[in-house]
């Protein structure tokens, strides 16, 4: 097997990798931002479903996917489904960006905070159906 010598036009400029694999763009922080935002949406969904189940007996009954577990089975199942869907959608939108901004991190912290708040009995019992 013989190879033809590279001409000066074929050579990569100095400091630039010559192979295609090495020259491909390195993904930025977009995929991490998408994963964090998706997790924040999932956490918020869990807190929201927990509060809604306490506020409405019909929602509580509809969230019962397993009688042995009760409404927790639906809360966690739906929260995981929403998390995975949000992560997938955000991966193809936010995931293409190069930087993880402070705005993204702020939204993630707010979503996690609201989700956590929604799971505390002191909070969700304020909305209890009588």
Mean pLDDT per 10-residue section of the chain, whose length is 130 residues: 60 56 59 93 97 93 94 96 96 78 91 96 86
Q: What is the pLDDT of residue 20?
A: 46
Its domain, for residue 62, covers 27-127
In this structure, is residue 16 part of a structural domain? no
Q: What is the pLDDT of residue 39?
A: 97
Total domains, the chain: 1
Q: What is the pLDDT of residue 101?
A: 80
119 Cβ contact list (under 8 Å, min separation 6): 46, 47, 50
In this structure, is residue 4 part of a structural domain? no
pTM, entire model: 0.75
Q: What is the pLDDT of residue 123?
A: 92
């Amino acid at each position: 097997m013989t190879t033809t010598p590279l001409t000066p036009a074929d050579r990569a400029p100095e400091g630039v990798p010559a192979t295609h694999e090495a020259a491909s763009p390195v993904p930025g922080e977009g995929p991490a931002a998408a994963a964090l935002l998706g997790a924040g949406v999932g956490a918020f969904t869990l807190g929201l479903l927990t509060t809604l189940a306490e506020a409405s007996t019909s929602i509580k009954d509809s969230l019962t996917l397993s009688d042995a577990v009760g409404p927790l089975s639906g809360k966690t199942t739906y929260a995981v489904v929403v998390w995975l869907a949000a992560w997938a959608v955000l991966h193809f939108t936010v995931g293409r960006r190069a930087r993880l901004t402070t705005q993204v991190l702020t939204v993630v912290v707010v979503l996690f905070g609201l989700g956590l708040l929604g799971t505390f009995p002191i909070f969700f019992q304020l909305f209890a159906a009588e």
